């Protein structure tokens, strides 16, 4: 078991991807930025998810094969609420563009909520295992995982295999409603890419390549584990076939200060939420709060 490398601290003035960050992303498939969002910004984000009807109206669930369920809310476009402003702020979008070397747009956003004792596991997979089937031809895509709560081994933090993105796309099959990577291939890769736990504090952000193998265990602890994930695609990788995630839609960037200043916590008119039957790569059921 390995400790995370490629860990950096967010700096308020002039934060951009350095040569060392880019090297770590290319070699290990991720970089972890501590303190990407401060307490005020995270308080605003929590208010969106905790005090609105977003979960009650749009929550979905999928089994994990062990009797528990993973719960999720998925939307297509950023919108203008706090979560949308966060997805469009300079420090997130510029970092993704620096790492991928191209203009990016939001492919989709989602809230993953693992409640205390009941939150299910996410099986080993690559995000591109899903997105390849959605007719995105190139793996020029990535995800930004923002910790809303403390993410620890005890409550089901993300587990990654650093460097596994270099293995290319692995075959995936539908398993308990989720897309899961070929088990034998994953076990073989673990011998070369040591398992690493991505433990995070609220406001930390993990930027990872779409071919990085990752999973998370069920939450058997008394502490919930909520996370906000934003998937980005490159402009030149527009999906061949329109589907339940976004075609290329230019991002209207906003300054970093907009996240703390935003007071829109309940207007989700522009987000377009995913209905369970629309997904071609997962089998969702309607959830409850």
pLDDT, tens digit (0-9, with 9 covering 90-100), for 103-137: 999 999 999 999 999 899 999 999 999 999 999 99
pLDDT at 176: 81
pLDDT at 54: 95
Whose structure tokens read 């939150």?
Answer: 119
Domain layout of the chain by residue ranges = 7-262
pLDDT, tens digit (0-9, with 9 covering 90-100), for 66-105: 888 889 999 999 999 999 999 999 999 999 999 999 999 9
Residue in 106, 126, 89, 84 with CA at minimum distance from that of residue 233: 106
User: Alpha carbon of 14 to those of 10, 46, 50, 140, 255: distances in Å?
Assistant: 10, 26, 32, 25, 12
Phi-psi region of 101 (alpha: psi -120 to 50; beta: other; left: phi over 0): left
* DSSP track, the chain: -B---SEEE--SSS----HHHHHHHHHHSEEEEETSS-HHHHHHHHHHHHHSSHHHHH-EEEE-SSS-EEEEEEESS--SSHHHHHHHBHHHHHHHHHHHTS-EEEEEEEEEEE-TTTB--EEEE-HHHHHTTTT--S--EEEEEEESS-B-GGGT-EEE-TTGGGG-PPPEEEETTEEEE-HHHHHHHHTTS--EEE-B-TT-EEEEETT--EEE----SSS-EEEEEEEEEEGGG--SS--SSPPP-----B-THHHHH---SS--TTT-BPPGGG-SS---EE---
What average pLDDT does the structure give for the chain? 95
Please, what sign has the CA dihedral across residues 170, 4, 101, 92?
positive
* pLDDT (average), residues 19-35: 98
pTM for this model (two decimals): 0.96
Contact 64, 38 (CB under 8 A): no
Contact 112, 71 (CB under 8 A): yes
For the cut 90, the answer to whether the pLDDT of residue 13 exceeds it is no
pLDDT at 288: 58
Give the pair of three-digit tokens for residue 33: 């930025």
pLDDT, tens digit (0-9, with 9 covering 90-100), for 242-258: 999 999 999 999 999 99
Which residue would you say has higher pLDDT here, 284 or 32?
A: 32
Pick the CATH number of 7-262 from 2.60.120.620, 3.40.50.1000, 3.40.50.11060, 3.40.50.300: 2.60.120.620
The whole-angstrom separation of Cα 111 and Cα 59 is 9
- Would you state the torsion angle of the CA atoms of residues 272, 275, 278, 283, taken in this order, to the nearest 10 degrees? 140
The whole-angstrom separation of Cα 177 and Cα 281 is 8
pLDDT, tens digit (0-9, with 9 covering 90-100), for 125-173: 999 999 999 999 999 999 999 999 999 999 999 999 999 999 999 999 9
């Amino acid at each position: 078991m390995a400790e995370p490398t490629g860990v950096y601290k967010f700096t308020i003035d002039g934060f951009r991807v350095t040569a060392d960050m880019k090297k770590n992303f290319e070699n290990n498939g991720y970089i972890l930025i501590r303190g990407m969002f401060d307490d005020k910004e995270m308080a605003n984000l929590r208010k969106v998810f905790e005090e609105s009807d977003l979960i009650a109206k749009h929550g979905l669930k999928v089994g994990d094969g062990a009797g528990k369920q993973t719960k999720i809310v998925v939307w297509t476009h950023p919108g203008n609420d706090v979560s949308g402003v966060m997805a469009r702020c300079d420090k997130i979008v510029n970092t993704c563009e620096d790492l991928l070397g191209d203009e990016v747009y939001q492919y989709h956003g989602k809230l993953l909520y693992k409640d205390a004792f009941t939150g299910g596991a996410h099986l080993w997979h690559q995000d591109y295992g899903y997105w390849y089937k959605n007719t995105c031809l190139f793996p020029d895509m990535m995800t930004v995982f923002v910790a809303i709560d403390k993410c620890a081994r005890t409550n089901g933090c993300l587990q990654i295999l650093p460097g596994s993105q270099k293995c290319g796309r692995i075959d995936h099959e539908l398993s308990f409603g989720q897309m899961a990577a070929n088990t034998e291939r994953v076990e073989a890769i673990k011998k070369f890419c040591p398992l690493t736990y991505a433990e995070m504090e609220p406001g930390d952000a993990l930027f990872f390549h779409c071919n990085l193998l990752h999973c998370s265990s069920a939450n058997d602890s008394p502490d919930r584990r909520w996370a906000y994930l934003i998937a980005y695609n490159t402009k030149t990788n527009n999906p061949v076939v329109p589907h339940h995630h976004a075609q290329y839609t230019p991002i209207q960037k906003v300054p970093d200060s907009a996240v703390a200043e935003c007071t829109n916590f309940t207007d989700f008119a522009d987000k377009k939420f995913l209905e369970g039957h629309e997904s071609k790569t997962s089998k969702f059921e309607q959830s409850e709060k």
